[in-house]
Amino acid sequence: MGQLALQRLPPLASVPKRPPSLPPPSLASPSLACATVSRRPLRNGLYIARAMSSHIVGYPRIGPKRELKFALESFWDGKTGVDELQNVAADLRKSIWKHMADAGIKYIPSNTFSYYDQMLDTTAMLGAVPSRYGWESGEIGFDVYFSMARGNASVPAMEMTKWFDTNYHYIVPELGPDVKFSYASHKAVAEFKEAKALGIDTVPVLIGPMTYLLLSKPAKGVENSFCLLSLIDKILPIYKEVLADLKSAGARWIQFDEPILVMDLDTSQLQAFSDAYAHMESSLAGLNVLIATYFADVPAEAYKTLTSLKCVTGFGFDLVRGLETLELIKVGFPRGKLLFAGVVDGRNIWANDLSASLKTLQALEDIVGKEKVVVSTSCSLLHTAVDLVNEIKLDKELKSWLAFAAQKVVEVNALAKSFSGVKDEALFASNSMRQASRRSSPRVTNVSVQQDVAAALKKSDHRRSTVVSVRLQAQQKKLNLPALPTTTIGSFPQTADIRRIRREFKAKKMSEIDYVQAMKEEFEKVVKLQEELGIDVLVHGEAERNDMVEYFGEQLSGFAFTSNGWVQSYGSRCVKPPIIYGDVTRPKAMTVFWSSMAQKMTKRPMKGMLTGPVTILNWSFVRNDQPRHETCFQIALAIKDEVQDLEQAGITVIQIDEAALREGLPLRRSEHEFYLDWAVHAFRITNFCVQDTTQIHTHMCYSNFNDIIHSIINMDADVITIENSRSDEKLLSVFREGVKYGAGIGPGVYDIHSPRIPSAEEIAERINKMLAVLESKVLWVNPDCGLKTRKYSEVKSALSNMVAAAKLIRAQLSKS
């Protein structure tokens, strides 16, 4: 892949004409698909539908049927070129903007589309490329951009972690005192011009400078001594250049996303925030400025700092998860400013209660005035599914309770119209009927389940009867594992053939006998490969599973599933979260048949693979009519029944993944303890009743674990495998600081989200770093995560090197 700035468009006959005002093709400037848009003309030759006071923070970019995913993966595989990828992206952007314009949205965002991640886009805009990628100057193209995101044959990718408390992952900027910032991606300006050429006036969206810096990490070598905010004066000149370009292009609004304001910021950080926007004040002259916050309440001091900014036209607040912010607004809101009221939930798929939201808006009207209230989403709609119209699996009743991104755009406009005095009485009546239908439906409530949970919680805190050190001795006596035992996290590559077999069976084009035989053959291949590689504790590869949450939800009551309810997790990786609409039970065993089949294929331990209750909860669209922890305890009891059945079937190692436990942690420290108490308790419920000789594993994905390490210990698992490699062994620092961890632990030794294959020597070096802070008797050797998204050629080489490294270190340990 060469720099996109060097690529040329194909002949005009095959690519829509690009307006001459746009720069040559690059990461920032896709080819345009211009079309006449039939909307009411406004001044300056722009077109837009009815301009009610409505706003969308952001919108999903993957496409209603994952068009971007498939275009990216085809491009990465070399099957298609730059032009094809750019054309798919341009078509998606056009359809998104047109949908919002046709719905009547006044403030339509641009620059919320991304080929991988919006934080990575900001890194590109600022030219903050780590030196290992070999970029020196010029417009950043796809080769550098995707190398930062995914790594390449010679260098690893940048770290990836969760975006606040969502299941979306962002690429973490690596910043140090020597970073030379430059205006290296003109994507924001190009997309504004692209929309303008389509006749749509948009609000360009930028990640705000404070959020960008405070979500970055210090570069290697200055981790403990460098203040990220010391770079504020170096990045603001780049922001000013972007603003100047946007104004020259005709932008009238700019949106800065500053969700960092919902976190616990100290006085110096709030002062830096205030100073940063004061510093940009002259560059912001001539623009209307919106600062958007989301995901939680804005603390009182941050609210005061934010609303004191003179250069800001409007302030956006999440009024779904930020009810305390609503109280702050009632106490005081700056005169003459616009309030972008996020009353439509951007993180869940339930239809908005229009009457309740209208009451909230009317209450705000009494405070700030009707003309100053703008109806908005609580956050970007990136975190919800794209369009309910594409759903064919959901029954009519359940579908009537839902709204995906496309429908939420309509809800925002309906509320804006009603708030302005043009109420659609039929729409509101229909909405009220649907809300009442959900509240009264017998499929939502199961009294016996609620009684079971209440009874279980009265009995104990669900701890195993013996301490972990005693259990590990009993387990080692039974399992007889070597030092530094090797394992994988669960899944093996999901080939096109595997997906075809599952698809045909689901469509009843394949008999159950043939399906079971096909799965058995796949299991045998995976087991044989692991035995040949010398892996100690095996997995069956999960060929029968579509997704680690969906697979279980399909077998639990109270869950529903979509056909196209995809949500972006990172890059091209999309997930299809289940919908938890009612009380949860397990009608029958879910995994015992497959785990028992796999265990019979080998004499080595075969892990029974389950997804934990907190992860099922956090990776689902959860009912909003009862507290989340109540739903979680229901799921925990269902998983407990499965654990007991696996143990009775002879499975001696059971992994209960809690990949998403950390991401559910509330953004405010004052709320951490309550969440961690019930989340950890739910995990313990799943396995408190097993024998000492049954080894319970858990796995956690990318995140910052150091601040919850004591809660992780309190989970009382026998072995935990955890992300480590992509974060520069950040996890190990907690053990250097004196935390004692007596259970087994497997910090990942290589990054499975990159196609790069680490050498045995590189992995051995990582193991030695772990042994500097962990005892060899508790250390496990494993990849960072499951291997589902990788190719077998990559998996074989990487695991072979992993096992070779483990054997090398074992030999060194035996000599010493």
Per-residue pLDDT tens over the stretch 143-154: 999 999 999 988
Q: Quick check: 20 pLDDT over 50?
A: no
608, β-bridge pairs: 654
pLDDT of residue 37: 31
Of the candidates 783, 740, 168, 197, the one whose C-alpha atom is nearest the C-alpha of residue 533 is 783
Phi, psi (deg, nearest 5) at residue 393: -85, -30
Which pTM value belongs to this model? 0.88
List CB contacts of 191: < 8 A, sequence separation 6 or more: 28, 93, 110, 111, 113, 202, 204
Q: Quick check: 387 pLDDT over 50?
A: yes
Binning pLDDT at 50, 70 and 90, where does residue 504 land?
very high
Q: How far apart are the first and last CA of the chain?
A: 48
Report the alpha-carbon distance of residue 131 to residue 538 in Å, rounded. Answer: 39
Do the bridges between strand 373-377 and strand 338-344 make them parallel or antiparallel, or are there none, so unpaired? parallel
Of the candidates 613, 200, 563, the one whose C-alpha atom is nearest the C-alpha of residue 404 is 563
For tokens 């104004």, what's the residue? 247
List CB contacts of 220: < 8 A, sequence separation 6 or more: 174, 728
| Average pLDDT of the segment spanning 98-103 | 97
Inter-residue contact 542 to 491 (CB < 8 Å): yes
Q: Quick check: 411 pLDDT over 60?
A: yes
List pLDDT tens digits, range 596-620.
999 999 999 999 999 999 999 999 9
Report the alpha-carbon distance of residue 35 to residue 562 in Å, rounded. Answer: 32
Inter-residue contact 193 to 22 (CB < 8 Å): yes
Report the alpha-carbon distance of residue 30 to residue 591 in Å, rounded. Answer: 46
Q: What percent of the chain has pLDDT over 90?
A: 83
| Average pLDDT of the segment spanning 737-763 | 87
Binning pLDDT at 50, 70 and 90, where does residue 635 land?
very high
Inter-residue contact 159 to 172 (CB < 8 Å): yes
pLDDT of residue 6: 26
Report the alpha-carbon distance of residue 318 to residue 668 in Å, rounded. Answer: 15
Binning pLDDT at 50, 70 and 90, where does residue 337 land?
very high
Query: Between these two residues, 595 and 704, which has the higher pLDDT value?
Result: 595
Of the candidates 633, 548, 645, 657, the one whose C-alpha atom is nearest the C-alpha of residue 584 is 633
Q: Quick check: 685 pLDDT over 50?
A: yes
Phi, psi (deg, nearest 5) at residue 108: -100, 125
pLDDT of residue 5: 32
Q: Quick check: 437 pLDDT over 80?
A: yes
Report the alpha-carbon distance of residue 303 to residue 308 in Å, rounded. Answer: 8
pLDDT of residue 706: 74
Inter-residue contact 456 to 632 (CB < 8 Å): no
Amino acid at 625: D
| Average pLDDT of the segment spanning 439-464 | 90
Binning pLDDT at 50, 70 and 90, where does residue 740 land?
confident
| Average pLDDT of the segment spanning 586-597 | 98
Query: Between these two residues, 337 and 727, which has the higher pLDDT value?
Result: 337
Using H for helix, E for strand and C for coil, what is the string for 99-163? HHHHHCCCEEEECCCCCCCHHHHHHHHHCCCCHHHCCCCCCCCHHHHHHHHHCCCCCCCCCEEEC
List pLDDT tens digits, range 150-194.
999 889 999 998 899 998 999 999 999 999 999 999 999 999 999
Binning pLDDT at 50, 70 and 90, where does residue 729 land?
low
pLDDT of residue 699: 94
3-class DSSP assignment, residue 313: coil
The backbone region for 295, taken as left when phi is positive above 0, alpha when psi lies in -120 to 50, beta otherwise, is: left
pLDDT of residue 153: 87
Report the alpha-carbon distance of residue 551 to residue 804 in Å, rounded. Answer: 34
Report the alpha-carbon distance of residue 154 to residue 133 in Å, rounded. Answer: 9
Report the alpha-carbon distance of residue 34 to residue 348 in Å, rounded. Answer: 33
3-class DSSP assignment, residue 262: helix
3-class DSSP assignment, residue 531: helix
The backbone region for 738, taken as left when phi is positive above 0, alpha when psi lies in -120 to 50, beta otherwise, is: left
pLDDT of residue 547: 87
Q: Tokens in use for 567? A: 């949500």
3-class DSSP assignment, residue 461: coil
Report the alpha-carbon distance of residue 225 to residue 768 in Å, rounded. Answer: 25
Of the candidates 452, 485, 500, 787, the one whose C-alpha atom is nearest the C-alpha of residue 653 is 485
Lowest mean pLDDT among 316-325, 343-352, 360-369, 696-705: 696-705
Q: Tokens in use for 434? A: 């649907």
Q: Tokens in use for 339? A: 């309030």
| Average pLDDT of the segment spanning 127-140 | 96
Helices (H) and strands (E) in the chain, counts: 28, 21
Q: How far is CA 525 from the centre of its chain?
A: 32
DSSP state of 624: S
Report the alpha-carbon distance of residue 785 to residue 486 in Å, rounded. Answer: 13
Binning pLDDT at 50, 70 and 90, where does residue 704 land?
low
Q: Quick check: 31 pLDDT over 60?
A: no
pLDDT of residue 19: 36
List pLDDT tens digits, range 268-315.
999 999 999 999 999 999 999 999 999 999 999 999 999 999 999 999
Q: Tell me the DSSP string of 483-525.
A: SS-BB--SB----HHHHHHHHHHHTTSS-HHHHHHHHHHHHHH
User: Within 353-404, where are the H helices?
Assistant: 354-368, 396-400
Element (H, E) at 584: strand 579-585
Phi, psi (deg, nearest 5) at residue 65: -125, 35
Q: Quick check: 392 pLDDT over 90?
A: no
Report the alpha-carbon distance of residue 704 to residue 695 in Å, rounded. Answer: 26
Three-point CA angle 289, 294, 296, nearest 5° = 140
| Average pLDDT of the segment spanning 69-85 | 97
Binning pLDDT at 50, 70 and 90, where does residue 730 land?
low
Phi, psi (deg, nearest 5) at residue 318: -80, 105
Lowest mean pLDDT among 121-125, 217-221, 479-483, 577-581: 217-221
Phi, psi (deg, nearest 5) at residue 97: -60, -40
Q: Tokens in use for 780? A: 């496990």
Report the alpha-carbon distance of residue 746 to residue 731 in Å, rounded. Answer: 11
- Going edge to edge, which strands form the sheet with 253-257? 108-110, 202-207, 253-257, 288-292, 314-318, 338-344, 373-377
Report the alpha-carbon distance of residue 354 to residue 431 in Å, rounded. Answer: 7
Report the alpha-carbon distance of residue 582 to residue 621 in Å, rounded. Answer: 12
C-alpha dihedral sign at 424, 425, 428, 430: negative
Please give the mean pLDDT across all residues of the chain.
91
Do the bridges between strand 174-175 and strand 202-207 make them parallel or antiparallel, or are there none, so unpaired? unpaired
pLDDT of residue 795: 94
Do the bridges between strand 202-207 and strand 253-257 make them parallel or antiparallel, or are there none, so unpaired? parallel
Q: What percent of the chain has pLDDT over 70?
A: 92
Residues in the chain: 816
Binning pLDDT at 50, 70 and 90, where does residue 728 land?
low
List CB contacts of 389: < 8 A, sequence separation 6 or more: 64, 406
Phi, psi (deg, nearest 5) at residue 107: -105, 95
Q: Which domains does the chain have, with CATH numbers?
A: 6-440 (3.20.20.210), 466-494+520-815 (3.20.20.210)
List residues with catalytic annotation: 753
